[in-house]
Chains A and B, each alone.
Chain A
Amino acid sequence: MAWVQLIVFCAVLLAIVPLLGGYIARVFTYEARRPQTWKQYAVSLITFSVLSWLFLYLVLRARMPWDLSFNTTSSFVTNTNWQYYAGETTLTGFIQMVGLAVQNFVSAAVGLVVAIVLIRGIAGRPLGNFFEDLTRAVVRILLPISFVGALILASQGVVQSLDLPVASQEIIKVLGTNGGGFFNVNSAMPFENPNGLTNVLEMLAMLAIPASLTFTYGRMVGSARQGWTIFGVMFAIFLAGVVVVYLAELQATPAQQAAGLTGANLEGKELRFGTGGSALWTVVTTATSTGAVNAAFESLTGIGGLVPMVNLAFGESIFGGVGTGLYTMLLYVLLAVFIGGLMVGRTPEFLGKKLEGREIKLIVLALLVTPLAVLVTTSIAISTDYGQASIYAAGPQGFSESLYAYMSQANNNGSAFAGYTGVTFADLLGGLTMLIGRFAPIVLTLAVAGALATKRVAPAGLGTMRTDTPTFAGLITATVVIVGALTFLPALLLGPVVQGLTTQLF
């Protein structure tokens, strides 16, 4: 039954990709009235984000202390939606509506336009104008889909009133890969996600734009195969994750077994979704950088909790966030081209453009800044009393909570092992991590786009490495897995892997 659902789900996703991907390509194929250089584009993006930050901070201060406001503001401006607060008790419906939901739209739009700029750079086109792109992203893509989606969700029972404007926020929460729940238990709450149909629609909304952008990319560089190659890589890793979580969650946890229980682990899950609907959601929400949950991640089995962390370790490139996923994956692709070039002893070329020292340095920096932020902040958090104050669970689970918190915030995902609690130290360190994990890669990606845009295109020759073949897809996959594994394997072994292997209780 769950397998049939999975096949249908994937078929619908495959139908969406060319339709929406083609539409997005059309929206962003136009001549900007005020073309910008990459630096001007970056300055506009940062200025807009800083002002958004200040505005939201002031709005949230109405109900939050300064440290929690800092964390929450950083969280929503960076498209993370990490939540150290409980929506329904800390905030009012009005504040969620005019504060958080607005950032759900525009932070997604910011991620989207950065991906578009990188595509334009690769295609050798003018980079465009930030404000014109931002307007198109909101008005032509996010808002119309959200409007229809909100009404569909509401018709299925998702609440929408002046006190509880949930449906209008729920749809952009998933479509914009934001993830911040109106309610503390997020999409597990029947008012956010009442039945199996809404569960499927919300999962499709999370994947819709990140998956479709691979097609947009193929269309805009003039080769559909380039886009499908990247989609194939993402899809394969995604499916592997789904299978592992599903099989893991069909087992009882060690604590349940010790109490004499058998069967699927249902702690922190909703019966209307079951093991299948919860497992699929868990992978969708962490492969995309959404972070909305319909089950409690802290209560997953060890291996079930490992998969979300692996998705985070891959830098949110397996579909990833709106825009952020594609540009991160494209950076991996460029790195794979460089590695492939070294292996065959030729100057690495991508779509006719030579990759040189400057680009490679920028790419490596962009891909390493987030893992570096994760490892440094996690080390600080687990080795100090300030950091340990946030830990809830005993044993390796306490370490998993800390690692997950900083992986999730640095990669702008927002899901959590929710026992980990916010104190001033965690608010500040986490807020800072989100800002670094968001804006450092964005500026570096724009710089890569700027460097590529002006390069001359050399015609493909006999020695040119093809980048639209299954062999190259294998090389991309290996690059993503090796970079992620080399960076995070030791940390993952100490947390979820230990828990997946032992029956000991702590």
Chain B
Amino acid sequence: MKRTLISSIVAVLASTVLLGLVYPLAVTGIVQVIPTREVVLAEATHVGDARYFQPRPSQTDYSADATAFSNRGPNSSSAKYFYLEQIAAYRAMNDGAEPPMDAVTTSASGVDPDISHENAVIQARRIARVRSLPEAEVLALVGDDGHVNTTKLNEALDR
């Protein structure tokens, strides 16, 4: 019994040092010197500004520091009213265009930068109109992919 207790104490302490300190610090060290891809989140900066692409609705005002799900259930009547509000706002901003599903549902992370191609095309027409740009020029930014990153699109618009 005494041997078991001592072995257990040693195991807890050794695993804390090895797995809780040595391992993560070694990974952190190596990550400093290997190439890593940059991750772009949705930004709140241009939300509500018709001159920019709008990301999907966020439960947390696009906060990366305190994330949360909306937890809107499939049979929730308050969810229905939320969608109706979102639909009305989208139509008002986009010349009465019907919103695709992604444009009126909250993402899981609240910082999903992507929107569907369909959504991006509708918004590209609006942006071209508001900025008095040729439609083809803004549509060229959108491309043909299934989904596009609003943060990167907005950076491209500012260039």
Contacts and interface: CB of A to CB of B under 8 A. Distances in A.
Interface of A: 40, 43-44, 47-48, 50-52, 55, 86, 88-89, 97-99, 101-102, 105-106, 131, 134-135, 138, 143, 146-147, 150-151, 154-162, 165, 167-169, 183-185, 188-191, 194-195, 252-256, 258-272, 274, 293-296, 298-302, 305, 392-397, 417-419, 499, 502-506
B55 to A, nearest CB: 10
Contacts of B159: none
A180 to B, nearest CB: 14
Contact of A189 (B15, B67, B76, B101): B67
Interface in B40-99: 40-41, 56, 64-77, 79-80, 83-84, 87, 99
Contacts of A295: 108
Given A269-B108, A299-B70, A259 B23 contact: no
B76 A155 contact: no
A434 B74 CA distance: 28
A98 B21 contact: yes
Given A265-B74, A268-B107, A296-B70, 6 more contacts: A48-B11, A168-B27, A190-B112, A194-B39, A255-B76, A271-B114
Nearest to A164: B28
A190 to B, nearest CB: 5
Contacts of A156: 36-37
Given A194-B39, A260-B87, A270-B108, A44 B7 contact: yes
A430 B138 CA distance: 53
B134 interface: no
Contacts of A50: 8
A184 B111 contact: no
B137 interface: no
Interface residues of B, number: 68
B102 interface: yes
A181 to B, nearest CB: 9
Given A272-B112, A296-B108, A157 B15 contact: no
A269 B115 CA distance: 12
A253 to B, nearest CB: 4
Given A88-B67, A397-B73, A261 B104 contact: yes
A296 B20 contact: no
Contacts of B130: none
14 contacts: A99-B20, A154-B31, A154-B36, A185-B110, A190-B41, A259-B84, A263-B101, A270-B114, A298-B71, A393-B73, A393-B76, A504-B75, A505-B76, A505-B80
Contacts of A302: 74-75
Contact of A165 (B24, B84, B102, B112): B24
A256 B83 contact: yes
Nearest to B81: A259
Nearest to A160: B31
B132 interface: no
B39 A190 contact: yes
Interface string B126-159: 0000000000000000000011000000000000
B75 A162 contact: no
A191 B73 contact: no
Nearest to A131: B7
A51 B12 contact: yes
Contacts of B38: 157
Contacts of B79: 253, 255-256, 267, 505
Contacts of B80: 255-256, 258-259, 505
B65 A89 contact: yes
B149 to A, nearest CB: 9
Contact of A168 (B1, B23, B70, B114): B23
Q: Which one of A106, A190, A295 has the highest number of Cβ atoms from chain B below 10 Å of its Cβ? A: A190
B15 A188 contact: no
B20 A102 contact: yes
Nearest to A398: B73
Contacts of A99: 20
B37 to A, nearest CB: 4
Nearest to B113: A190
A181 B39 CA distance: 18
Contacts of A191: 39, 64
A190 B106 contact: no
Given A154-B31, A190-B41, A268 B70 contact: yes
Contacts of B36: 154-157
Nearest to A259: B83
B71 to A, nearest CB: 4
Q: Which one of A147, A268, A419 has the highest number of Cβ atoms from chain B below 10 Å of its Cβ? A: A268
Contact of B15 (A97, A106, A190): A106
- Which 8 A-B pairs give the minimum distances between C-beta atoms? A188-B108, A259-B83, A253-B74, A98-B20, A419-B71, A505-B77, A296-B69, A271-B114
B74 A254 contact: yes
Given A147-B27, A157-B39, A169-B24, A47 B4 contact: yes
Contacts of B12: 48, 51-52, 55
Nearest to B85: A259
A36 B65 CA distance: 48
